[in-house]
Structure 1
Amino acid sequence: MNTTPPAITNGDLLIAEPYMGDTNFERSVVLICEHSQAGTFGLVLNQLTDIHLSDVIEEIHPDLPLFVGGPVQQNTLHFIHRRPDLIDGSICVVDGLYWSGDFEQIKRAVNLGTLTERDVRFFIGYSGWNEGQLDAELTQKAWIISRITADFLFDTPTNEFWRGVLKRMGGEYKSIAHYPVDPRLN
């Protein structure tokens, strides 16, 4: 039995196994923004909140949706986008997808309407793993690893994201996409 976890790189997606059992990550897809020996930082892509960005940042006027990036430090704000031409200091996660950048530029672009929810996603909190923690979860097969494009991320409805990623992977993953949330109700 191979107990070596698969290699993780920035831009990978962690797709929660259907019956993971962790309510923080049930049916979640986590984008890995930074992975090193010291630990891993990611953002849950498909946990929409009932609040909007304008509810937490007074200077922002449009009602952009706000997502839960994970259970860690939910008093912090993070963002990913596909417009590095508008935002200095952006960090490339994968081709066409960027993390972070100059927040003053973000606020200006959002308020002017040059940056919309088609190009940016905001998160409260993040998902984090200490050294070796994610490797242990991967060895236990708690996550499926995949990759996506920025277009898929921004163009796929949040409520279809987990299934959509699995369907795109094909094969056995396509059938996993149809697993019920609670198999006892089947």
Structure 2
Amino acid sequence: MNALAPGMLLVATAALTDPNFADTVVLLLDVGDDGAVGVVLNRPTGVAVDDVLDGWGSVVAEPVVLFHGGPVGLEGALAVAQVPLTGDAAAGAGLRPISPGLALVDLDQSCEALAGRVTALRIFAGYAGWSAGQLEDEVEQGAWYVVSSRAGDLAREDTSGLARDVLRRQPGELAWVATRPVDPGLN
């Protein structure tokens, strides 16, 4: 199992029955002694980005909708960008690096300031949060698989099969989990 760190993915296991997280893939944005924060990558809403953040729809990846980032802070928005691994794209005003290839975006800046600095962008309403030790306990109890992310995970157009695809690319027996039925009791 991989270590919890910004940029890693959490993939919900069959043991996780909380409807907020069932069959989700969460991108970790911050992990520390005080807890962890992430956003759900595979829960698009029907709300157009421009309906909430005027002008930002022109810079986000398809589909141009807000994503439900998690059950906490639903009145706020977080933006995460994919940035080039080389060069100074993640440096400077408006971007805060998360991990190689990923950065948080300051939504108070103009979206034009991102031109040439990001390769993909997604905006999330709300986030997932864990208190100190909570996520570690959930991983130990088997609620989450912790795996590495890839560049295309953030801005995938069709997110419906993201969890299966992320698991399918894992080494060893973890790849087998990608084919588990929705209700393992029926297997």
- Corresponding position: 1:22 with 2:18: yes
CA distance change for structure 1 residues 177 and 166 in 2, over 3 Å: closer, same or farther?
same
Q: Secondary structure at the match of 2:106?
A: coil
For 2:171 and 2:2, the matched residues in 1 are separated by: 19
For 2:171 and 2:157, the matched residues in 1 are separated by: 17
Aligned pairs, how many? 177
Deviations along 1:33-60, one digit per CA (max 9) or x if unpaired, are: 1111011110111111111111212344
Q: Are the counterparts in 1 of residues 68 and 125 from structure 2 also a CA contact under 8 Å?
A: yes
Letter in 2 for 1:37: D
Q: Are the counterparts in 1 of residues 82 and 154 from structure 2 also a CA contact under 8 Å?
A: no
For 2:119 and 2:41, the matched residues in 1 are separated by: 14
For 1:32 and 1:123, the matched residues in 2 are separated by: 13
For 2:32 and 2:148, the matched residues in 1 are separated by: 18
For 1:81 and 1:50, the matched residues in 2 are separated by: 21
**1:71-150 equivalent positions in 2, closer than 5 A:** 71-83=71-83, 85=89, 88-101=93-106, 103-106=108-111, 108=112, 114=115, 119-150=120-151
Q: Are the counterparts in 2 of residues 41 and 129 from structure 1 also a CA contact under 8 Å?
A: yes
Q: Are the counterparts in 2 of residues 29 and 45 from structure 1 also a CA contact under 8 Å?
A: yes
Deviations along 1:109-164, one digit per CA (max 9) or x if unpaired, are: 68xxx58x961011000000011111211121111000112234334631121011
- Cross-structure match for 1:8: 4
Q: Are the counterparts in 1 of residues 48 and 57 from structure 2 also a CA contact under 8 Å?
A: no
State the identity as a percent. 33
Letter in 2 for 1:120: L
Which one of the candidate residues 36, 39, 51 is aligned to 1:40? 36
For 1:35 and 1:130, the matched residues in 2 are separated by: 10
Bigger helix fraction: 1
Structure 2: tracts of 5 or more residues without a match: none
Q: What TM-score results when the alignment is normalised by the length of structure 1?
A: 0.82
CA distance change for structure 1 residues 61 and 176 in 2, over 3 Å: closer, same or farther?
closer
- Cross-structure match for 1:52: 48
- Cross-structure match for 1:170: 171
For 2:36 and 2:79, the matched residues in 1 are separated by: 16
Q: What TM-score results when the alignment is normalised by the length of structure 2?
A: 0.82
For 1:156 and 1:64, the matched residues in 2 are separated by: 9
Q: Are the counterparts in 2 of residues 118 and 155 from structure 1 also a CA contact under 8 Å?
A: no
For 2:165 and 2:15, the matched residues in 1 are separated by: 17
